[in-house]
Structure formats: structure tokens, C-alpha cells
Amino acid sequence: MNIKTVIIPDLHLHWQTADNIIAHEAPDKIVFLGDYFDNFDDNAIMNQVMAEWVKNSIDQPNRIHIMGNHDTNYAFRHRSYKCSGYTSAKEETINLILKQSDWRKMPLYTQVGSWLCSHAGVHHHMYDHYGNGQDFNSWLKNTCEFALENAFANKPCVSILQAGRSRGGIETVGGINWCDADEFSGIPGVNQIFGHTPQKKPRWINKGSSLSKEYSQNLCLDVSYAHYYAIHDSKDDSIKTHWIGDL
């Protein structure tokens, strides 16, 4: 059976865009790359409406909502998770709608075919430096599970959730919610799709030779309120990008 998956990047309150994409494409599965909240000149009420949309969407069985840095902003109380756009008024309003049981439904990544989908991508340095020779998939699973439990326990964020120096953080490169496209360097043999970095069009950041087993394809989707999205076709494991202006 061929499965059509739509991958939608950072919404930043533009839930109507997501609804339009889904209605047009009628996919079997939808993956959201995080950053549902915060925008320029927004307010608590606008984020409340977004929270209500997320609350309804997250329980639909064919949808996966990855958590972005503008979501950890509000999911976790410790100040080390806060980023630009945060206000206590928005935090209070959002968490009247989304409870910890809801936040726990948001993973830091998911797999679509051979493609690893996350908010900002996993830089090879993060794995090389902290992987300690572990298999990549095992390391990522264990590291992300620990990071989330640590966060829900109101403890400071660990390396995989830290910002890199390019964003004023302490890590050499940003973690899975913070890696900038300009600094991104992929992991050999691991194909990735992520959002996070504002740009005009989708950007491919491939690594190595396409003739090598170490080759990886990496796609940063446009982050301007999901002006672009991607479609994965399970039949041939392909990824195609689409502009919402074509809807």
C-alpha cells in the first residue's frame, strides 16, 4: 500500500495554512516539524487559539506533532528552555489548554521512510561528540528520551536541546531544536528533513558523494509560516517540495 505523508514546517500560529494544505493534499499521514507558537506582534489570545488547534490535532491518529524550540518554551518551566517570543502571559494561557499529558505526545523526532524528521536536524558534531561510538538510532532514541524526562522534571536542558553559539548558546552547534541551516552538516548515511531556519525557499544540504554509502540528503524546509511543505511517497521513498501558492 502506498502511503502519502505531508510534512509541514513551522506554523507560528498559522493553523489555517496547515488546514488548507491538508484539505488540498488529502494525505494518509501528516508530520508537523514543530514551532506552533510565537510570532511577531502576537498576544496570549492568538496563542490560545493555536493551543486549541494543537489540542484537537494532536489526538488525530494520522498526525505527529514534533516539538520545536518555541514549544519547549511553554512545555517546560525551567528558564533554560525559554527563547525569543516567550512571555509568561502566553505560557499561562497555552498551558490552560495543553496539559503535560498533551506535551508528552510530542516527540523530538520521527521517521518517515528513510527520512529522519525533526525541528532543526541533528548535526554530525552532536553525534560524534556525544555518541560515544553507539549506533546512531539507539543513541538518538536514548538521548531524546532522557532529554524529555529531564525537562518534564524541571531540570536544565541537556546538550541535545541546547542552542549553539550561533544563537548565543553554549554548544559548538545547536541541538535537535536549535541547529541553524547555515551551520548544519549531516550524518553520513542519514537522510534528514527539518525546519527552524527562516529562508525564502527549501534548501538541500547534501553530504558526500551520491555514489557512496556515506551519502546523506538533507532538506531544510521554508520556515515562513509553512509557505512550503514536503510530500513523502512511500512507494519510492521520494521527497518533493510544494509551494502553497500552487494550492
In this prediction, residue 246 carries a pLDDT of 84
d(CA 47, CA 32) in angstroms, rounded, equals 17
pLDDT, averaged per 10 consecutive residues of the chain (247 residues), comes to 96 97 98 97 97 98 98 96 96 98 98 98 96 95 98 97 92 96 94 95 88 88 93 96 91
- For 47-90, give the DSSP string: HHHHHHHHHHHTTSTTEEE---HHHHHHH--SGGG--TT--HHH
In this prediction, residue 103 carries a pLDDT of 98
DSSP, collapsed to helix, strand or coil, labels residue 138 as helix
4-246 to CATH, choices 3.90.550, 3.60.21, 3.30.70, 2.40.30: 3.60.21
C-alpha pair distances (Å), 170 with each of 74, 144, 159: 21, 19, 9
Instruction: Give the Cα-Cα-Cα angle 48, 54, 60 (nearest 5 degrees).
Output: 150
Residues 108-152: tens digit of each pLDDT: 999 999 999 999 999 999 999 999 989 999 999 999 999 999 999
Query: Can you count the helices (H) and strands (E) in the chain?
Result: 7, 10
pTM of the model: 0.97
C-alpha pair distances (Å), 222 with each of 31, 38, 83, 164, 225: 15, 17, 20, 21, 8
Pairing mode, if any, of strands 228-233 and 238-243? Answer: antiparallel
In this prediction, residue 74 carries a pLDDT of 98
In this prediction, residue 213 carries a pLDDT of 76
